[in-house]
Chains A and B, each alone.
Chain A
Amino acid sequence: MKHSRAAVLLACCTSACSGFDRQSAVDPAGPQAESIEHLFVFMVVIAVVVYIAVIGATIAIIRRRKATDEDPRSPSREASAARAIKLAIGVVVPVLFVLLVYDFSVGRSVNAMTNTPMLTVELTGHRWWWEVQYEDPIPQNRVRTANEMHIPVGRPVNVKLASHDVIHSFWVPNLAGKKDLIPGHVNEVIIQADKPGVYRAQCAEFCGAQHANMSMMVVAESPERFSKWIASQRQVPAPPVDTLAARGQTVFEGGQCAMCHAVASTRAAASIGPDLTHVASRLTIAAGTLKNTTANLGGWIVDPQGIKPGVDMPSNALSPTDLRALLAYLRTLQ
Chain B
Amino acid sequence: MTTADKRGAITLPPAIDQGDRERLQKTWEPRTGFIGWITSVNHKTVGKRYIATALIFFLFGGLEAGMIRLQLSRPDNGILGPDLYNQIFTMHGTTMMFLFAVPIMTAIGIYLVPLMIGARNIAFPRLNALGFWVYLIGGGFLYVMFFMNTGPDAGWTAYTPLSGPEYGFGKRVDIWAQMVTFTEISALIAALEIITTIFKMRAPGMTFSRLPLLVWAQLVTAFMVMFAMSSVATGSIMLAADRLIATHFFNPAEGGDVLLWQHLFWFFGHPEVYIIFIPALGMVSQIVTTFTGRPVFGYPVVVTALIATAVIGFALWVHHMFATSVHQLGESFFTAASTMISIPTGAQIFCWLATIWLGRPVWKTPLLFVIGFIVVFVMGGLTGVMLASVPFDLQAQDTYFVVAHLHYVLIGGAIFPLLGAFYYWFPKVTGRMMSERLGKWNFWLLFVGVNVTFFPMHILGLRGMTRRIYTYSDAMGWGTLNLIASVGAVIIVASMAVFAFNLFWSLRKGEAAGANPWNADTLEWATTSPPPPYNFVDTPVVIGRDGLWDYGDEFPVITGLHTDRPEVLITSVMTAEPRYRHEAPSPTFAPLVMGVLIGAMLIAGVFTPWGLVYGTAFIGIPFYMWAWPDKREHERNLREENEKRLEKKEAA
- Residue numbers of A with Cβ under 8 A of B are 16, 18-20, 22-26, 33, 35-36, 39-40, 43-44, 47, 50-51, 54-55, 57-58, 61-62, 64, 66, 70, 72-74, 77-78, 81-82, 84-85, 88-89, 92-93, 96, 99-100, 103-104, 106-108, 110-111, 127, 165-167, 169, 171, 173, 176-180, 182-185, 187-188, 200, 202-213, 289, 309-310
Total of A-B residue pairs, C-beta within 8 Å:
238
Stretch at the interface among B55-63, B225-233, B344-352, B641-649: B344-352
> Is residue B435 within 8 Å, beta carbon to beta carbon, of the partner chain?
no
> With A72-B294, A202-B464, A204-B398 as given contacts, are A107 and B378 in contact (CB-CB < 8 Å)?
no
Cα distance A211–B400 in the bound complex, in angstroms: 15
> Is residue B588 within 8 Å, beta carbon to beta carbon, of the partner chain?
no
Q: List chain A residues, Cβ under 8 A from B340.
A: 96
Do B353 and A43 have beta carbons less than 8 Å apart? no
Interface SS, A side = mixed
Do B353 and A61 have beta carbons less than 8 Å apart? yes
> Is residue B257 within 8 Å, beta carbon to beta carbon, of the partner chain?
yes
Do A24 and B335 have beta carbons less than 8 Å apart? no
The 4 residue pairs across chains A and B that have the minimum distance between CB atoms:
A177-B394, A184-B252, A23-B464, A18-B475
Q: Which of B342, B395, B397 has the most A CB atoms < 10 Å from its CB?
A: B395
Do A66 and B360 have beta carbons less than 8 Å apart? yes
Do A212 and B382 have beta carbons less than 8 Å apart? no
Do B382 and A51 have beta carbons less than 8 Å apart? yes
Cα distance A42–B82 in the bound complex, in angstroms: 38
Do A183 and B382 have beta carbons less than 8 Å apart? no
Cα distance A22–B464 in the bound complex, in angstroms: 9
Chain B window 318-357, contacts with chain A (Cβ cutoff 8 Å), 1 for yes, 0 for no: 0000011100100110011001101100110111011011
Q: List chain A residues, Cβ under 8 A from B472.
A: 212
Residue from B258, B392, B397, B466 within 8 A of A36 (CB atoms): B392
Do B394 and A85 have beta carbons less than 8 Å apart? no
Cα distance A176–B613 in the bound complex, in angstroms: 51
> Is residue B374 within 8 Å, beta carbon to beta carbon, of the partner chain?
yes
Shortest A219–chain B CB gap in Å is 17
Chosen A-B contacts, 22 in total, with CB atoms closer than 8 Å, are A16-B475, A23-B476, A25-B462, A43-B385, A43-B389, A61-B353, A62-B371, A82-B297, A96-B343, A99-B385, A103-B389, A166-B167, A167-B161, A167-B258, A173-B464, A178-B394, A178-B398, A183-B161, A205-B323, A211-B82, A211-B469, A212-B82
Do A47 and B353 have beta carbons less than 8 Å apart? no
Cα distance A203–B462 in the bound complex, in angstroms: 15
**Chain B: number of interface residues, binned into ranges:** 35 or more
Which B residue sits closest to A86, measured CB to CB? B350
- Residue numbers of B with Cβ under 8 A of A are 81-83, 86, 154-155, 159, 161-162, 166-167, 252-253, 256-259, 292-294, 297-298, 301, 323-325, 328, 331-332, 335-336, 339-340, 342-343, 346-347, 349-351, 353-354, 356-361, 371, 374-375, 378-379, 382-383, 385-386, 388-399, 461-464, 466-473, 475-477
Shortest A33–chain B CB gap in Å is 8
Do B350 and A203 have beta carbons less than 8 Å apart? no
Which A residue sits closest to B379, measured CB to CB? A51
> With A23-B476, A39-B389 as given contacts, are A58 and B353 in contact (CB-CB < 8 Å)?
yes
Q: List chain B residues, Cβ under 8 A from A104.
A: 332, 335
Q: List chain A residues, Cβ under 8 A from B469.
A: 211-212
- Further 11 A-B residue pairs, CB within 8 A, beyond A36-B394, A92-B346: A24-B462, A25-B399, A81-B297, A96-B342, A96-B385, A167-B161, A177-B394, A179-B325, A182-B259, A205-B159, A206-B154
Cα distance A210–B399 in the bound complex, in angstroms: 16
Do A203 and B466 have beta carbons less than 8 Å apart? yes
Do A36 and B395 have beta carbons less than 8 Å apart? yes
Q: List chain A residues, Cβ under 8 A from B356.
A: 61-62
Shortest A194–chain B CB gap in Å is 17
Q: List chain B residues, Cβ under 8 A from A208.
A: 86, 162, 167
Q: List chain B residues, Cβ under 8 A from A213.
A: 471
Shortest B445–chain A CB gap in Å is 20
Which A residue sits closest to B294, measured CB to CB? A72
Shortest A306–chain B CB gap in Å is 11
Do B257 and A184 have beta carbons less than 8 Å apart? yes
Which B residue sits closest to A108, measured CB to CB? B328
> With A64-B357, A99-B339, A166-B161 as given contacts, are A177 and B395 in contact (CB-CB < 8 Å)?
yes
